[in-house]
Amino acid sequence: MKPPAPDSPAARGYRMPAEWEPHQATWLSWPHKRESWPGHFEPVEPAYAEIVRALAACETVHVNVLDAGHRKHVEGILGRQGVSGDIRFHLFPTNDAWCRDHGAIFVVRDGADAPLAAIDCDFNGWGGKYPPFDLDNRIPGRMAGELRVPAFRAGMVLEGGSIDPNGAGAMLTTEQCLLHPNRNPSMDRAAIEQRLKDLFGLNQVLWLGEGIVGDDTDGHVDDLTRFVARDTVVTVVADDRDPENRPQLAANRERLKDMRLADGTPLKVVELPMPAPKFCEGQRMPASYANFYIANGAVLLPTFRDAMDAEAARILAPLFPGRKIVPIDCLDIVYGLGTIHCLSQQVPAA
């Protein structure tokens, strides 16, 4: 394997931990852009408060808001719904709410000064689809400054929802997203792989193909396949209710069957169902149970008022001993084309 670039995070001993490793906090950006939920914004804030409730029961919650008036508005919503805990507000205005993709991605190292650092990736609105994104693009640096940790410029367009690490040197991603010309057209596959290794302390990148139908991010892996242990993934599969998704999900399932970690260990693969297709005014929504978020004491599972909600919870429960599966009704939230994992970004303990 090629050595990491000098002065890169990997060369300095940093790695991206798995999501199930201990957190000091979760970071969110409060939703405010009504155009992201056209005609359906009113239920979103109360639903979002339920995400904050579940997180605040486990760990500190940082929340980006537009200004002092917006903070008062959000505090009112949380107060009316009886949500409390260590909730810290930051007057860091954003263009939209998707903190997984516009927030800093954190890396850690052992036995050294500066055990926590932030990776500041370029954000271009998922390939230029949703301008403006200038405020979102400033958020990683503002998060790093608030936490007083060093920040490394990634030198590439990258969203947090497009990658999923096992904390032990492997990372999942998709060709549809990372190789899309609307992200990093001057970088080929080999260059992208090396940059990921340099940024996140990896020894391998595991490539899946296409993401789910309705995902406007060009196939983010956090709607598709997720590590739940060093050598174990869950991956969504489609049945006869969802013929649009069956071909690409079956192809990804075949790839996973043949994947090996760097030490030769095959991946254990657990299948998750997909909910029945969900639509908003004729547009397919990216409703997926793979968009769960792993907090310190809980796994927040998006649900969709669907017959498969309980089955998804049943499958995930034994994979997370010691954590409670907390269903969060996301049928209103997913009308914005994302759910819990898309909205959240973990800050690892260091």
Q: Which residues are part of the catalytic machinery?
A: 342
- Beta carbons of 199 and 163 less than 8 angstroms apart: no
Distance in angstroms (rounded) separating the CA atoms of residues 242 and 282: 15
Q: In this structure, what are the phi and psi dihedrals at residue 292, rounded to the nearest 5 degrees? A: -75, 165
Helix crossing, 44-56 with 68-80: angle to 10°?
A: 80
Which are the contacts of 92, defined by CB distance < 8 A and separation ≥ 6? Answer: 29, 64, 65, 138, 139, 142, 143, 146
Q: Which H or E run includes 146?
A: helix 134-147
Cα–Cα distance, 12 to 2 (Å, whole number) = 15
| Letter string b/e over residues 117-153, b meaning 16 or more CB atoms within 10 A of that residue's CB | bbbbbbbbbbbeebeebebbbbbbebbbeebebebbe
